[in-house]
Structure 1
């Protein structure tokens, strides 16, 4: 292994949190994440230090450095917490309104995602903020893959998708396209503006239209025939 490879592995290690195994450790870990949630809501992630986190959480510095080798590791841990919550709220959502078009369903999902970020400022900052560690990028991509799978699942329930082995990649690209508009809006305004949200939807829909076309055939609901009562 050359020196460049060693440095890359070292950066990955320090960007990943060390998960606690014992109850006392888990309690400290969650307490630190609660404190980090407060800190990142009130200031930029680039202004946060582990010493500051230790002070706000009331947890000894030695414990902070044990769980989080770096600030990046603490942000990765906070992202893990929010992506779990995000999954419960957004990815577990199965009550999409009946849609007249696949574009409507796309917009429903994006509105649900934006709503989560509007209500959870820490999640907004972690997902779209300037920090870009390897571990955090991996989490972001995993979350976007789950979003793509959710979109395919719900769209397939309502519409007949053309046969293809590439739908997961196509929908992932659409998610990333929308993300780019949200990220740009966050960088400029500190939030996802109405204009950015609308442009992100249009851009993602325009990309998918290349493969889905303007209209998709609706699935026919099939009802079991009622048996005559004896």
Structure 2
């Protein structure tokens, strides 16, 4: 008896997604597993990672590991999401002190924050910029780009009199994806982003967004 194709597709998709722990003890165990995955990924090619190797490194029973992570790709997705949450916190801290300036300066400041995070976290940089073999990692990064674009638009609307455009989230997300691609093309094998890579990404982002945003936008009253 054969499973329907849709059921097979769902089963395959489930193997790429981590399960969320509900209890504090389970969350602590998942954190320990992700810590071990982070250490392993820092010292060996991502493609060489395996669940048995990770279970041994984390000091947890294989059955416990499989309960939360049905595949090594699911582990990497969870690791990327944890890093994304840390990056989000860095961005929020930046926004607390960032002067309004221009939209171009705001774009550059947020990009610089992301660059610094990539350079401080080479495992993250490699996973999001260099691991094209894992489609679920790209999907997780795309989801995060969408969230960042929505946050960027929220910030811009709070600070500037924005043009009437039907959907600015999409071009903002595209601009971020363009920047990521430039970083991937011009960064070294560890994902370090050179000054040239950063400047090229800013040229591309600002040039692209200039199709949707005017050169200057008036500040809203009270915007710092």
TM-score (structure 1 length as normaliser) = 0.85
> Match for residue 8 of structure 1?
9
Q: Does the 8 Å CA contact 2:32/2:58 hold for their aligned counterparts? A: yes
Give the unaligned 5+ runs of structure 1: 224-230
Count of residue pairs brought into register by the alignment: 222
User: Structure 2 unaligned runs (5+)?
Assistant: none
Q: CA RMSD in A?
A: 2.4
Distance 2:203 2:97 in 1: 19
Residue number in structure 2 paired with 1:67: 68
Please say if 1:28 is aligned against 2:9: no
Conserved? CA contact 2:81–2:140, under 8 Å: yes
2: CA distance between counterparts of 1:114 and 1:147? 14
Confirm whether residue 221 of structure 1 aligns to residue 221 of structure 2: yes
Residues 125 and 191 in structure 2, CA contact (< 8 A), matched pair in contact too: no
Q: Distance in 2 between matches of 1:161 and 1:109?
A: 18
Q: Match for residue 145 of structure 1?
A: 146
Q: Pick closer, same or farther for the CA change 1:201–1:96 going to 2, 3 Å.
A: farther
Alignment partner, residue 118 of structure 1: 119
Residue by residue over 1:120-167, the C-alpha shift from the partner in whole angstroms, topping out at 9 and shown as x without a partner, is 222212222315545433321221112112222333333322111121
1:180 and 2:210 aligned: no
> Cα deviation per residue 1:70-129 (whole Å; 9 max; x = unaligned)?
110110111121122222222454235335432111100100111111112222122223
Distance 1:24 1:222 in 2: 46
Cα offset, 1:207, TM superposition: 0.5
How far apart are the structure 2 equivalents of 1:156 and 1:145? 17
Determine if the alignment matches structure 1 residue 129 to structure 2 residue 130. Answer: yes
Structure of larger gyration radius: 1
